[in-house]
Amino acid sequence: MALKTGVVSGAVVLALGCIGCDEVEVEGEAVGFGEGEAVQTRSTQENGWNLNGWNLNNWKLNGTRLNDTKLYRDAGQTDYIQLFDIWLPDGDYVTTGSLVGGMLKVGGLTGWDVEDTTFDFKVKEGATTYWKYVWLKYAYPVAGFSDVWEYDMDLQVALTNDPLCVDGTGKRTRALLLNDIWDPATGAKVSPRPDKALTFACKDGALAKCVLFGYRPWATVNGVSLADHHQACTRMVRADYCGDGQAHTTLGTPIHVLDQLGIQTPAANTSYVVEAEWGPNGAVCLNPSNTRHANQTIGCNIPTCGASFASGGLIQSGKIVP
C-alpha cells in the first residue's frame, strides 16, 4: 500500500486508514524482561499505511548524556543504563515485567491499569552513578489492532520532567514498548537479548512505525514469524540499503510497500516502480535508478532486482511515480 505524506515544519502530516485491510490469524507469546506467559490465539485487522523516515528510534531516554545507548549492562561496561525496578500505582514495586504482544504487564496489571507506573533506571557514566525515571502517565489501545498499545510517558532527570518522545517540532508523541534492543549505530537487533531488555519505541521512529505497518515482531501470520519482517521493515523505512545503519531518505517521502503475507497489499490507483526488496540485514536487491532520492551513493554492492520477490526479500518497496 502507499501513502502520500507531507512535512510541515519538520512534522510529518499523516492520514491513517485501513484501506483493503486483511484479516489474518496471528499467534503471540508473552516475552518478559524477567517473566513470561502464554497468550491465546487471536485475530486482528491490519492497518494499511506506511511512511519512511531517517531515524531508527527517537530514544530520548539516553539523550546526550550516555555514551552507551543500550538498556542493559554488559560485563566490563564502563557506561551503562539498567532497568532497576518498576513502581506500581499503589506504591508497591516489582523487579520484573512482561509484554503480552505490545501490551505491558507488571505486578498483575495490564491495559489501562498500568497508568501511573514508574520505571527506575540506574545510570553509570564513568565514576558517576545516578537515576533516570520514566513515568508512564497514560495507556491507549491502538485502533485496528488487538495486541498493540501505546503509552504517553515523561522522562525525569534531576526532578525535571520532559516528554519522553517528541516529534520534529518538539510536540509530545507516544511510545510503543518492544521486548528487544537495537544498536542505534548499525540498526541491528542485539542478540542474544540480555535479561531485562526493553526499548521505548517512539512513534516517529522506524521501530514503532514498522509495528504499526502490521509487522508486529511478536506475532505470526500463517505460521510465519514477523520478527524478521519487522527488522527488514526498519531497514526499508530508513532506506538503509547496506544494512549498516546509514539512511538514504528524508522524512515525508512516499513509498509503496508490499509483502507476500497479505499484510501490505497493492495500493489501488497508485503507480510505482520497484525500488528494492528487503531482508533483516538490508536490501537483498536494488534498482539503482529507482532509489528514493536521485543520485544516491550506495556504499555496498547489491544485486539488481528481477521478478518480484525472486531475490528472497521479505518486503518490497516501490518509488511512487507521479
pLDDT digits (tens, 9 = 90+) for 22-31: 223 333 334 4
Q: How much is the mean pLDDT over the chain?
A: 76
Mean pLDDT over 277-304 rounds to 95
Q: Which residue has the cell 525525569?
A: 156
Amino acid at 310: A
Parent domain of 45: 6-320
- What is the pTM (predicted TM-score) of this model? 0.79
Q: Is residue 50 part of a domain?
A: yes
**Is 17:25 a contact under the CB 8 Å cutoff?**
no
User: Mean pLDDT, to the nearest integer, of 125-145?
Assistant: 90
pLDDT digits (tens, 9 = 90+) for 8-52: 111 111 122 222 222 233 333 344 443 322 222 211 112 222 233
Q: Residue 234 and residue 216: Cα distance in Å, rounded? A: 12
Q: Is the peptide bond before 194 cis (omega within 30 degrees of 0)?
A: no
User: What is the tens place of the pLDDT at every residue in 216-236?
Assistant: 999 999 999 999 999 999 999
Does residue 24 lie in a domain region? yes
Beta partners for 190?
Answer: none
What is the 8-class DSSP label of residue 28? B
Q: What was the pLDDT predicted at 56? A: 55
Residue 281 has pLDDT above 80, yes or no: yes
Q: What is the pLDDT of residue 76?
A: 59
Closest to 234 (Cα-Cα) out of 280, 168, 191: 280
Tell whether 168 is covered by a domain. Answer: yes
* Helix, coil or strand: residue 100: strand
Average pLDDT estimate for 269-275: 90
Q: Is residue 130 in a domain?
A: yes
Q: Per the structure, how many domains does the chain have?
A: 1
What phi and psi, each to the nearest 5 degrees, are found at residue 100?
A: -95, 95
Q: Does some domain include residue 310?
A: yes
Q: What is the DSSP letter of 311?
A: T
Residue 255 lies in a domain: yes
Main-chain dihedrals φ then ψ at residue 107, nearest 5 degrees: 55, 30
As a 3-state breakdown, the chain gives helix, strand, coil percent values, each rounded to 5, of 10, 40, 55
Cell numbers linked to 106:
507488571
184-203 residue pLDDT tens: 778 888 776 655 567 888 88
Domain for residue 1, yes or no?
no
Give a yes or no: residue 306 inside a domain.
yes
Q: Which residues make Cβ contacts (< 8 Å) with residue 217, sequence separation at least 6?
A: 178, 180, 211, 226, 227, 229, 230, 231
Which range, 74-78, 145-149, 170-174, is most confident?
145-149
Whole-number percent of the chain with pLDDT over 90: 42
